[in-house]
Chains A and B, each alone.
Chain A
Amino acid sequence: MIEVRFHGRGGQGSVVASRILANAFVRENKFGSAFPMFGFERRGAPVTAYGRFDDEPVLEKTQIYYPDCLIVLDSSQRDSPRVYEGLKPNGILILNSTMGPKDPHENLALVAMADATRIAVEEIGLPAPNTGMLGVFAAATGWIKLASILAGLEDYFDGSRLEGNRRCVQRGFEETKSMRL
């Protein structure tokens, strides 16, 4: 099982990103579950979301303590020790930034980045880096096909927003810069 923890802020689309990813795994005949944890819903507040993806049905409905991968949508959390808590050895960081963490966590093996906020502003006119980050995730991990993420977008967006988000995913995928540690 792959366990992914999303760190973002209300309004960045972390929750939707976690759902699109679960959707993509199900499209590959696998299983996925995703849920967020926050108190009162409000923009700007820190949001954590959890994604589990497996070949078998996912039974656990508990938070993730030992993630294989971190998706950090909010670059201001890039150096927060809380984000890296429990990260497994050979861990992967998917970061919405052009600049990696100052002092990478000892369990980090791969950092993959793109400026997904800029991509989103250019493509959909909103600073919502969520779908671009999924493109980076697909490029860096190889755990999911880009096509599966693209196919699932229509369940969450329509019209010009759907087209724009397709471009965000595609550009996130193409503009990924990976750094092995």
Chain B
Amino acid sequence: MNAHARLLGCGKKGMLNMEGTEFNKTKIKVITGNSAAAHGAMLCRPEVLALYPITPQTEVVEEISGFYASGELDAEVVEVEGENSAMNIITAASAAGARAFTATSSYGLVYMYDALLQAAGYRVPIVMVNVNRETPGITAVSSGQQDMISTRDSGWIQIITSSCQEILDSIIMAYRLAEDFDIQVPVMVNYDGFYLSYLAEKVEVPCRADVDGFLAPLKDQPQRPILKPGEPMGFGTHGILEGYLELRYKHSTALERAKVKFDEIDKAFERHFGRSYGGQIDTYRTADADMVLVASGSLSGTAQKVIDLKRDQGLKIGLIRLRMFRPFPRERLIETLRGKKAIGVIDRSICFGWNSGPIYVELRALSPEIGYIPMMSFIDGIANMDVSVANIERMVRILQSASEGDSYQKVTWIGMEEE
């Protein structure tokens, strides 16, 4: 294949490519969350990728390897012996100026923990997919956000997605965010293992020219500091006192800037591709709602169906889908939740020491601004427990009774309730 054909990319016939049929002129594919992630990464033209397989992320590695083998991905793909090396390799590559990518999950994420912190400290603008799965502790090959939550203070930006299309689109947005000159912070794009990693649905795969166009504004920005032969420079090396303090302060304020920046990138994405996800948070029927459910990830779609059901029954209820967990979208959450009568937060992980969900704990910190109203934590969906319509309806019943002034339990472990 000549270089030009490879640049255009869209004319190739891949295993899942449906080109040649009427409906594929718009490049519609039916692909899994993992495949959507691989497509998203490939379209951003990463130059260095280091990959190690782990359930339920393995398909990402397989598909990216396929893109590499077919020539669709022109990059250095490093097959490593473990995730710690993967993170170190892409950190170094990014420090040398490359666009870099990796994908992991659960045990893999914690196996690279020191390297993960280092990448953030170095402020390298890498993008990593993390397919949410339970962490070591109780061995479980199953869903749950505990892995992502366990790295929340690593200094990474953390995005949570809830459909295959959103996975693909968020990886493209993640590079715009990570590499923005005013941000320069690594971004972790999360999606639920099992419930999204293996779920196949309709995805519109943008063509290369459109993705190139969307990422092009990054080229107009000042050059970020990169390592070059003969030009020694330190990355994350100011070990003590004021130097350290200054770097931490700059890092933390960069995360604060990332919030509005992410909203702007979402709007730019909509102008470019016609799809929008609301930026830091996505709101559904919240404007006139008395009660609001706060959810994230794949269960949000199910929650949206329940909101419609309850609205039909006359309940004034809405949904906030948290898309950004780090930095925490404080301002937009306060703006949306101020004046509400009751809030229920669904967590797919546990905040040990608080016996409640971590997203709930963070929302509780906003009580002075939101108002001291009933706020409830619902723990569901860990270890492949199915967050069903019936479960969410049960949460809404508890929420409703609390909003009407009945006494309520602050934390409910769905499936562990006393009858």
Query: Which of A's residues lie within 8 Å of B, judged by CB?
Result: 15, 18-19, 22-23, 26-27, 29, 31-37, 39-41, 58-63, 65, 151-152, 154-156, 158
Contact = CB atoms under 8 A, between A and B. Distances in A.
Contacts, number: 85
Interface string B178-198: 000000000000001011101
A22 B35 CA distance: 15
Contacts of B196: 61
B339 to A, nearest CB: 27
B30 A35 contact: no
Given A22-B200, A26-B202, A60 B23 contact: no
A59 B389 CA distance: 12
Given A32-B30, A155-B17, A61 B195 contact: yes
Interface in B348-391: 384, 386-390
B150 interface: no
20 contacts: A22-B200, A22-B201, A22-B202, A26-B202, A27-B18, A32-B201, A33-B199, A35-B194, A37-B384, A39-B384, A40-B141, A59-B305, A61-B298, A61-B301, A62-B195, A62-B302, A62-B388, A65-B390, A152-B30, A155-B15
B200 A35 contact: yes
Contacts of A65: 388, 390
Nearest 10 A/B pairs, CB to CB: A59-B301, A35-B199, A61-B298, A23-B30, A33-B201, A19-B200, A62-B302, A63-B386, A26-B202, A60-B302
A152 B16 CA distance: 9
A62 B17 contact: no
Given A22-B30, A33-B199, A39-B142, A62 B384 contact: no
Contacts of B195: 35, 61-62
B307 to A, nearest CB: 10
A36 B33 CA distance: 13
B55 interface: yes
Interface of B: 15-18, 21, 23, 28-30, 32, 55, 141-142, 162, 192, 194-196, 198-202, 298-299, 301-302, 304-305, 384, 386-390
Given A22-B30, A27-B23, A39-B141, A63 B202 contact: no
A27 B389 contact: no
Contact of A61 (B18, B32, B299, B390): B299
A59 B202 contact: no
Nearest to B16: A155
A58 B201 contact: yes
Contacts of A58: 201, 301
Given A59-B304, A151-B21, A155-B29, 5 more contacts: A27-B21, A27-B23, A61-B199, A62-B299, A62-B388
Given A59-B304, A61-B301, A155 B386 contact: no
B388 A34 contact: no
| Residue from B21, B195, B196, B202 with most neighbouring chain A CB atoms (10 Å) | B202
Contacts of B388: 62-63, 65
A158 B194 CA distance: 27
Given A32-B201, A156-B15, A59 B302 contact: yes
Contacts of B202: 22, 26, 31-32
Nearest to A41: B55
A15 B201 CA distance: 13
A31 B304 CA distance: 17
Contacts of A62: 195, 299, 302, 386-389
Contacts of A18: 200
A117 B141 CA distance: 31
A111 B220 CA distance: 64
Contacts of A34: 199-201
A107 B201 CA distance: 29
B298 A36 contact: no
Contacts of A37: 194, 384
A18 B199 CA distance: 10
Contact of B305 (A19, A23, A31, A60): A60
A15 B200 CA distance: 10
Contacts of B194: 35, 37
Contacts of B387: 62
Nearest to B387: A62
